[in-house]
Amino acid sequence: MLEKLRLAPSFHLHPLTLLSFSSRPLPRTLQPFVQFFAGNVQPYKFILPPTWKQARVANILSGNYCQPKCAEPWVEVKFEDEKQGKVQVVASPLIRLTNKPNATIEDIGSPEKLIASLGPFVTGNTFDPEELLETSVEKLGDQTYYKYVLETPYALTGTHNLAKATAKGNTVVLFVVSANDKQWQTSEETLKAVLNSFEV
């Protein structure tokens, strides 16, 4: 029997090795894969190949320095694989983006408006609207997600970035998948599958 893990703020992730996750087709590189259930704000889940390792989140990025009340986004968790890329989950207080309590992502605005506010958390430095190659909207049950494809030659996170965002409760959760050119060339399909697996 598999149990969903809800992890405390100072969590240490315990992976569940599974053979299937959803009806979406997955590349061979994700079978078997590891599924994580976590979340200090809203529980979320995503899948990763088993070779990926949890990376340390610097205290200044974790939000610990301004808890319990802070209007700045923080990094919840990071994972990386030297050959494939990096992922991170960024949480942003809803009040930073809208005054409407319990707003949906559609209430905040268009995909372009949201990425203009949170783009620097995708790139690790600045966001240039010209780097945005594609946006799309995905509906999973009652939850709406904005998805992004960015080509970011000057980003600290990597030259290729994928992102998926949604709002739930009082938080916007942003899932970011990043890779350099070499990683993207060999792992593009895997990275896209990782992005698609993210759900709140």
pLDDT in tens, 21-57: 333 444 555 555 565 555 556 688 999 999 999 998 7
Q: How many domains are contained in the chain?
A: 1
User: How far is it, in rounded angstroms, from Cα 161 to Cα 134?
Assistant: 11
- Say if 55 falls within a structural domain: yes
- Say if 121 falls within a structural domain: yes
Phi-psi region of 47 (alpha: psi -120 to 50; beta: other; left: phi over 0): beta
User: How far is it, in rounded angstroms, from Cα 179 to Cα 196?
Assistant: 16
- Say if 117 falls within a structural domain: yes
Q: Which long-range contacts link 116-119 to residues 24+ away (Cβ below 8 Å)?
A: 118/73, 118/90, 118/92, 118/163, 118/165, 118/172, 118/174, 119/150
Quote the mean pLDDT of the chain.
81
- Residue span of the structural domain in which 68 resides: 16-197
- Say if 7 falls within a structural domain: no
- Say if 41 falls within a structural domain: yes
- Say if 178 falls within a structural domain: yes
- 135 and 124 in contact (C-beta within 8 Å)? no
In this structure, what are the phi and psi dihedrals at residue 137, rounded to the nearest 5 degrees?
A: -120, 130
- Say if 70 falls within a structural domain: yes
Assign residue 154 the CATH number of its domain. Answer: 3.40.1000.10
**End-to-end Cα spacing for the chain:** 22
For residue 73, the model assigns a pLDDT of 85
Instruction: For residues 65-92, give the mean pLDDT.
Output: 84
- Say if 1 falls within a structural domain: no
Q: Is the entire prediction scored with pTM above 0.85? A: no
How many other CB atoms are there within 10 angstroms of residue 147's CB atom? 20
